[in-house]
Structures are given as C-alpha cells and as structure tokens.
Structure 1
Amino acid sequence: MTSKPSYIIKVAGRRLEWPTVVLTAVIYGGFLAVTWWWDALPLPVVALAGGWLVAWHGSLQHEVIHGHPTGNQRINNAIGSVPLSLWLPYEIYRESHLEHHRDEHLTDPIEDPESSYFTRAAWQRLGPVGRVLARWNTTLFGRLTIGPAVMLLSFLVQEARLLGAGEPGRARIWTVHLIGAAFVVLWVTAVCNMPLWLYFFGFVYLAAALTRLRSYAEHRYAERHEERTAIVENSHLFGLLFLYNNLHVLHHLKPGISWYRLPGVYRLNRDDLIATNGGLVYNSYWDIARRFFVKPHDSITHPNHS
C-alpha cells in the first residue's frame, strides 16, 4: 500500500485511546439506562436500542481482543468480559477470533473457527431437515432469522461436548462466565423488572442477528487467501455499529489499527486494498441484501474438503 500513515506501522493500543474509552462509557451507560427505564419506553424502542447496544458491545469486545484501548491487556479484557450477550464467554471468543486471524486458513471449515462452510462429510451428516435449514442459512434472510439460533445452538452443543470430554480450562471459563451472566440476568429481571423473554429476543437475539449481518459476506473462498476477505463501503450507520469492521480486508491486514482510524487509513489506501483482495467489494449492506436476500452467498461446502 502506498503513502502509509505512521500509525499503520506503529500499532495503536500502547497508550490510552480516549475514543474507545468514551465508546465504552456510552455502551455500558446506554445499556444501564435502557434496562433501567425500559418500562417507560415503547417496546420497539427498547428492543432496537437493546439489540444495537449488545451488538455494539460485541464490536467493542472485538476491539479489546486486538489490544485496545490500553496497553494493558488485563484491563482490556476486563472491559470486554461483561457477558451482555449471555451465551458467549469472552475468553472463548478471544481465543477463537485470534485463531481466525491465521489468514492462510481463512474459510477452511476445520482450521477457521469462524468459517460458514461445511466439509462434504459434515454436510451429509446433517440429514434432510438439517440440509434444508443450512441452505436457508446461506441466504441473508435465513442468516438474519434462523442464523442466530443456529449459531447459538451449534456453539452450545460444541461446548457441551468439550466440557463432557474434560477439555482443560473449559469448566473454569464457563464457571466464570455463568457467574457474570447471572449478575446480568439479576440486574435485568430482579432490579429492572424486565421480562427475561424481552431481554433474550430484544437484546440478545436481535444483537446476534445484527452480528450475522456483519459477518454474512465478510469472507468467501478464493485460491489466494488475500482474496478471501471482503470490503463493504458506504455503510455509515452499520459501519459505526461494527466499528468499521466492514472494511474487513484492512482489518485482517492490519488488525492493530484502532476502529476510529480505519476509515481514514482505508481512504488513503483504497486502490491498493481493492487490488489486494481481488475486487471483493460491496457498495453497502443494502447491496449485499439486494444480491443475496433469498440467494446463497456462496457454495455451502468448501471446495477443498471431501
């Protein structure tokens, strides 16, 4: 890439990053406010605000995984570890996401923990009903509706197997996580008197759907691993929600760049980035919806696995 600013080389996160500190206060403060005053607001507003805030919190977790906003990862982990989503332990997310950043394995259903592809053997094991649901889940409509349920259930089944097999450290991670999730549930239900169903569907499930929107077209198999990561341009609202992770190829090339610097770095290096990823560019999430709302984004099975 040409004309690189200094901070594309000097990775951010070694000093306090105030924009991310302010963002942290906005997310947690907004969450406390919406849950505390939920019964004074229309239910659609509660659900939309709650889903946005929990999805935004997921984006914040992604940011702290990559070393922000301080130079002390213990502090960063403390910022990101509050389990607002209830279902995903931060420590497991951190471990799997850093593994996902081994770019040479991107999209591989065995090596990449965030791959949406199946091996042919796994596809056959799904059975007729499972294959129907999986095909539906390859469309954007399916990813936004049943996608969160598929993600949650498949993750929890996998984790139950690891716990049953005595995976080292797993019981400790889940014990800590469940204690934190219990405090969130107590705050929501006992202190704020919000029905648990409203929190689950309005906050947790909607947030998972928004996250599914972000990840839907992020990666697609190509022979060169540099061409497996997409760019979604002209997404100002969702860009803020996803902390500009829509500029995904830049994030994979330079994962240490702070969220608020990504748009500027992208503008300076746009032509080189598009050349690097083979032109895998979408003109907004509306463009993705127009193309793939009821059509598959890609083949459901990975071409390199029988």
Structure 2
Amino acid sequence: MTTASTDSAPARPTRPARLVWWRHYEAPTLVLIAACYAAWAALIWWHASLPGWLLFVLGGYIAQLHSSLQHESIHAMRHLPRWLRQAIVWPPLNLWLPYELYHRGHSAHHVNFHLTHPDKDSESNYHSAPAWQSYGPWRRALYSANQLLSFRLLAGPAMRLCTLARGEWRRMRTGDFSHARMWLLHALGVAGVLGLVVGVCGMEVSTYLLCFVYPGMMLGLLRSFTEHRWSDTPHARVAIVESNWLVGLMYLYNNLHHVHHRAPSMPWYEIPLYFRQHRAEVLRGNGHFYYRGYGEIVRRYLFRPVFAPVHPKW
C-alpha cells in the first residue's frame, strides 16, 4: 500500500535502546493480537455466565479492538511478511466487512489531498452538491440526521450495512464479479467464526450480532464521527482526540489521528509517546482541530450536527 502526505514523515519518538527489539519483532502487537483472540474466546465460551450489559460492553470492545488490529496490519507491522501480518488478523470477527475490501477502501482514504472528498475519499461523510440535489426528501433527512452523534451510533451501523450491500449489488448488476472471490473467502471465514460461536460455545447468532458485531460497529463510528472535517489545508482536516489509555488501546491510539496521517506506518505503541514529545507541533500542524476526549464530543454533538452534510467545495 502507498500513502500520500503533504509533509515529510515525522521522526520516530526516542526510546531506550533496550526496547528497540520490541519494534523489530513487533512484540507489542503480536502480544495484543494473542490477547484479543484469547479474550474473544473467553467471552463466547462463558457468555451465559455474564449479564447482557457486560457482554455488550466487553464484546463491543473486543470487536473494535480486532478492527483496530486489522487497521494496524494495513499500515504497520512492516517487519513481518505481508502474508503473515494479514493472515493473523484476517478472521472476520466482525462478520460484515471483508478484510480485503477494507484494505482497498482505506488505501484510497490515505491520499491526504482527497480527504473528505465525497467521491474520492471512501470514508467521507460529506455529499457533493449535485448528489444532494438528486436526493429525495427522506434521503436528505436521513443523511442530515446522520450528522448527530446519537443517530450515528444507533442507526449508523445499519446504514453502513445497507450502503455496502447496495454498492455490491450494483456492482453485480453491471456484470462486475471481481469481488466474488473475496466474498467467497469472507463467507468461509464467517462460517468458521460462527461455527465456534454457535456450534462450540452455544451462543445464539442474534446474541453475537447484538453483543459483539453491532456495539463494535458503534464504537468504530464513535471514533470516526468527527476525526475529519473540511479545511483548505489537508492536515487541518484531521483531528486529535485525547483519551484515557483504555479507550486509546481499543483504538490503538488512532484517536490521535493527525499523528497517524502524518506517519501512517508508525506503530500504535509509538503514537502516544510521539504526541507527548511533539504536542505543540502536532496541534499547530492540524490547526488545533482538537478534542479533550470523547466526552466532549458527546456533549457537543449528541443532538447537534457535527457539520452540514453538503461538502462546501466539492
């Protein structure tokens, strides 16, 4: 994968020499991957012993952590062979998104000049003016409501699934079956995951969807809710959201998103140290597009739109 940036990659944070081997062998990431799978297995095995609310919280956390590890495999883990770093995070614990499709779309997102572009940025929540004019009243109302954090968290996962299904259906209707192999492999992976969940651990599919898949998607949408906005300067389009270590670990510190866009291959465990060492420079670089934490985002945007859905330029 290649990425584009408007400035040179920042230097790595300074670390004691005795810790250099960590990065060379990807030890922190490999340990975290093992812990993620172990926690997932423990939750599905003992799911009946846990209250529903706790399974919802822990299941969502593990599902989002696994998605963060998939993101890490796209950008970092460069000391491992490509096939290995992809294979160890490939199992579709989230069920809905093929790893290869995520890889392709996210690569387009990292062309910084195109950030927030309604058509060229695969992760943009903006709409072009011509597209907006073509929408009917109900669709405009839906996309306007999607700018509220409350709506994004509750209905956003369902909207993402509908958008994905609609796009893939249109592709097949035009005779393009280039994704068929990818979906076949994904289906085999889903069958394996559900075989463990249902066949071995006795969990209902509906329970897994409600306590792992959906809350995991909700947490992913919380992170991405306001990490990008339009600005004439590409790096001022990328936010910094500080948080505690528990949330930071779940997102692999991708909440410090401007650092990630400046140096996409920087391992997750170096990002917080780099931010602490270069805090003033980082915040100048992104025009102080900054939040003190997700609590601030909730207070500001739970029932207020984060921005107008029509892109101000494209």
What interval of TM-score do these two structures reach, taking the shorter chain for normalisation?
over 0.9
CA contact (8 A) 2:153 2:222 kept: yes
Correspondence 1:228 to 2:237: yes
Select which of 284, 290, 293 maps to 1:284. 293
Aligned to 2:5: none
Q: CA deviation at 1:6?
A: 6.1
Aligned to 1:94: 103
Aligned to 2:157: 148
Task: Measure the CA separation in 2 of the matches of 1:5 and 1:280.
Answer: 22
Task: Measure the CA separation in 2 of the matches of 1:78 and 1:156.
Answer: 25
Shifted more, 160-169 versus 220-229: the winner is: 160-169
Shifted more, 183-192 versus 95-104: the winner is: 183-192
CA contact (8 A) 1:13 1:68 kept: no
Aligned to 1:186: 195
Aligned to 2:148: 139
**Secondary structure of the corresponding residue to residue 24 of structure 2:** coil
Task: Measure the CA separation in 1 of the matches of 2:125 and 2:243.
Answer: 25
Q: What letter matches 1:254 in structure 2? A: A
Task: Measure the CA separation in 1 of the matches of 2:63 and 2:134.
Answer: 34
CA contact (8 A) 2:65 2:250 kept: yes
CA displacement, residues 50-83 of structure 1 (integer Å, 9 cap, x when unaligned): 1111111000000011131642111011012111
Task: Measure the CA separation in 2 of the matches of 1:197 and 1:252.
Answer: 37
Task: Measure the CA separation in 2 of the matches of 1:215 and 1:250.
Answer: 15
Correspondence 1:170 to 2:179: yes
**Secondary structure of the corresponding residue to residue 146 of structure 1:** helix
Question: How is 1:1-306 mapped onto 2 (pairs within 5 angstroms)?
Answer: 4-5=11-12, 15-68=24-77, 70-167=79-176, 169-305=178-314
Q: What letter matches 2:129 in structure 1? A: R
Identity of aligned residues (%): 39
Normalised to the residue count of structure 1, the TM-score between the two structures is 0.93
Shifted more, 30-39 versus 232-241: the winner is: 232-241
Aligned residues: 302
Q: What letter matches 2:180 in structure 1? A: A
**Secondary structure of the corresponding residue to residue 108 of structure 1:** coil
Task: Measure the CA separation in 2 of the matches of 1:31 and 1:119.
Answer: 40
Task: Measure the CA separation in 2 of the matches of 1:272 and 1:23.
Answer: 30
CA contact (8 A) 1:97 1:114 kept: yes
Task: Measure the CA separation in 2 of the matches of 1:117 and 1:274.
Answer: 24
Gaps of 5+ in 1: none
CA displacement, residues 220-273 of structure 1 (integer Å, 9 cap, x when unaligned): 000111110000013332211101001100000001111111000111111111
Q: CA deviation at 1:14?
A: 7.8
Task: Measure the CA separation in 2 of the matches of 1:2 and 1:187.
Answer: 42
Gaps of 5+ in 2: 1-7, 16-20
- Aligned CA RMSD, in angstroms, stands at 2.1
**Secondary structure of the corresponding residue to residue 126 of structure 2:** coil
